[in-house]
Amino acid sequence: MITLAWRRSACRNNRVDSAAAQLLAAAFLASESPLRNSGGNLRCFGLIHPRPPSIRSPLHHHQQPAYHRRSSVFMSMASPHKHTNRLSLERSPYLLQHAHNPVDWYPWGKEAFDKAKSEDKPIFLSVGYSTCHWCHVMERESFEDEEIGKFLSDNFVCIKVDREERPDVDKVYMTFIQATSGGGGWPMSVWLTPDLRPFIGGTYFPPTDHARRPGLKTVLTRILEQWQNNRPALESNGERILEALKKGTAVSANPGETPPSAPDVAQRCFQQLAHSYEEEYGGFRDAPKFPTPVNLMFLMSFWSVNRCSSEGGEALQMALHTLRMMARGGIHDHVAQGFHRYSTDISWHVPHFEKMLYDQAQLAVAYITASQVSGEQLFADVAKDILLYVSRDLSDKSGGFYSAEDADSVPASGGPEKKEGGCR
């Protein structure tokens, strides 16, 4: 049933019935903590060879290579670290970064699922990726903390997932987070029943209460109290959210009903983008501001089939103005080329310094298309700039590509820890 509920992912702004969402939040927190989008973390980044997404339900266990099943081996391995958990046997750079946390982490798989069922414990699912800034902030603050690590290990079955390795698992639970909160991002923190049904979730949590945001210690304590003393209500509220999700993501049509034509769908998409367009600096939302090259490509395609209409001209102007403003702003790296993941302000001026391979690929196509449509040399120059960056910094000598470059680097003034936006 849960598979059917999320077979089609909800869009980023899709919300379930607000009353149901409030019921879920009220299950253990007086107020829901705000969600935030993630950034990048360490400057060293690895070439990742993820497993292909499963064609079956992502909640079914993939048959893992032998090293994933050798859960007893890591206990006896000689290690200079105080703690070594099962993640030391994984290949994912992100999971390996958590291999020496004082948390009894499990990779996503049957061993963790069986433990949760046999001990009747809730699952704490933590999802991130190797260049996620806030993922590693949460690791430093919480997952390296001995007290938090012990509380997690004693009372939950803790599972760590690399979203680049298991995008299918990430999509299922991110749909839940987006639908119940209206936002999302990484790190993603979700609590599940032993049969993998989510009942509460969020993104980044500080270790202790800060301002109006509950800390992870508080969240964990309240969830455990509810699990022990009010479990039927907790699970019931989760079920109501799942039912709302199924209704919100289902696609149906009445017998004999004709689906809307492609031009009608395109017209509706254009109207939605025009409504959210920011005229001064371009783009389609307030800060944080993402490039969204798929929107820009749509607008140029819309113009190509509506050249004689005022709406076609408006679509082209929206796309070209946005591309110009991004190229001139700080989201575009004028020193080392390429584009950062997003701007922290509305004017594309102050970037979050992480760089993603998929952004470079899509933006290169968008700028090449803009050059062909407009004849402006600026767009051709920016496309060359992106491809130079990818060939120099995101290409491996073996022929593969690096998935991302993180936001943190060693400060020019020195120091043992890397920081976001530091000099290279």
Residue type, 166: R
CATH class of 2-66+73-249: alpha beta
pLDDT of residue 85: 96
Token readout for 36 is 């935030």
pLDDT of residue 89: 95
Residue type, 212: R
Q: Which residue has the tokens 């012990």?
A: 150
Closest CA to 130 of 157, 90, 180, 158: 90
pLDDT of residue 40: 35
Token readout for 165 is 């390795």
Surface-to-core class of residue 56, CB atoms within 10 Å of its CB (0-12 exposed, 13-18 middle, 19+ buried) = exposed
* Residue extents of the structural domains in the chain: 2-66+73-249, 262-420
Closest CA to 336 of 424, 209, 411: 424
Tens of pLDDT, residues 39-98: 333 333 334 333 333 333 445 444 443 333 333 344 444 557 899 999 999 999 999 999
DSSP assignment, residue 332?
B
Q: Report how far residue 298's alpha carbon sits from residue 304's, in angstroms, rounded to the nearest whole number.
A: 10
* CA-to-CA dists, residue 84 to 72, 98, 104, angstroms: 12, 9, 9
The segments of the chain whose pLDDT lies below 70 read 1-79, 248, 410-424
The answer to whether 112 and 123 have CB atoms below 8 angstroms apart is: yes
- Domain at 262-420: CATH code: 1.50.10.10
Cα dihedral 225/227/231/237 (nearest 10)? 100
How many angstroms from the chain centroid is the CA of residue 139?
16
